[in-house]
Structure 1
């Protein structure tokens, strides 16, 4: 019996996406890292612009699902659930399930340094794929894709629901400590997709550090790091 030809990583990904592209060029660009571009090509041929759009589409779909599924949740609880659903680690986990890492178009040097398994890159390209589906099939197609992959996680998640900054402040107050102080210690990335690093200082404790696409998200991440280190949160 003859062997069946092995499917390419992109073919495997297309099946996993459960979406039929009308314009496959959108998917190709969504999967392309700048390191794979020829010298004559511009950065617009890589995933970066699509990632910017996909991040917003994902946010809208997740926010809409949360609003529908948790009618009694206050803003703080919704924000906490939202942050968990759109955070880099969640997107990277979904990217791995889909096989995005194997299907990415990346340069040799990037591949040799583990680019196909980098959490940040997997998360970014996952969002760029969302944008490609949105541009190719419209909002309904993107919503269906996000719902299928994110909704089960949304409904099964049982992590802490309080806002990290609020929780850390209340915890500090319970120990008669001053209000935690937040300081921006770094900024990286292009203007359209910045990454901030924030350190939070609680008197008598080692500072906690967090990163995010905005100062607010980085502050929450830093507060969460301290809460987990101190055993207040045990997700």
Structure 2
């Protein structure tokens, strides 16, 4: 799939078509790509604004829906929604990892697993939407963060690769090993089958990218026999 097709797919998922596409591109550009170049356009300023946009919308939603909740309970739920990990998970769910413009020193795998890069980019995208179309433009993306935050509150949502690594470390196992068993399909719609091994446990899964297949395999191994971190 071409970058243009991926950008269109992203806009379809968030329910908004950008008028100023430069805002979308900037939201997806990490400062590392500029390699210290003065004046390089990256997403840090947008991330700053997006953090405030997300915070406002989350606070407003919680205030409206939980009329009897005390400040401490509201704060706990608020933190789950606006956390970098939650934003990163929401970013992964709409394919932002594959669209990030980063330093050539970053591998695709490194970007896909970097909560800081993806979380910041998600907030930058919030700001880009706000600037391009106002609050209505942001609503679809906010709902992703809200839903992911609710899942996280229920203990059902976290990075499965990180969870599996923690599980292995606690049991004295080497880090999980991921191996590509199959790679087929056309370039615009590839299919990967990944096997993961942790200790004496093995699981396989497939996905539309190597990163997605690895995450699915880790999740499968965690569920195997009721494994928990």
Matches within 5 A, 1:15-54: 15-37=12-34, 42-43=39-40, 45-54=41-50
Q: Which runs of 5+ in 1 are unaligned?
A: 161-233
Q: What secondary structure sits across from 2:107 in the alignment?
A: helix
* Conserved 8 A contact 1:26-1:132: yes
Pair 1:104–1:23, CA change in 2 (3 A): same
Equivalents in 2 of 1:133, 1:5: separation in Å? 22
Aligned pair partner of 2:67 in 64, 71, 75:
71
Pair 1:54–1:42, CA change in 2 (3 A): same
Structure 1 match to 2:140 = 145
Matches within 5 A, 1:77-226: 77-111=73-107, 114-142=110-138, 144-153=139-148, 158-159=153-154
Structure 1 match to 2:191 = none
* Conserved 8 A contact 2:77-2:153: no
* Conserved 8 A contact 2:86-2:148: no
Structure 2 match to 1:192 = none
Equivalents in 1 of 2:15, 2:80: separation in Å? 24
TM-score (norm 1): 0.59
TM-score (norm 2): 0.60
The alpha carbon displacement at 1:148 in A equals 2.5
Pair 1:154–1:106, CA change in 2 (3 A): closer
* Conserved 8 A contact 1:21-1:133: yes
* TM-align CA RMSD: 2.8
Pair 1:61–1:146, CA change in 2 (3 A): farther
Q: For the pair shown, which has the larger CA radius of gyration, 1 or 2?
A: 1
The alpha carbon displacement at 1:77 in A equals 0.5
Pair 1:74–1:47, CA change in 2 (3 A): same
The alpha carbon displacement at 1:159 in A equals 4.8
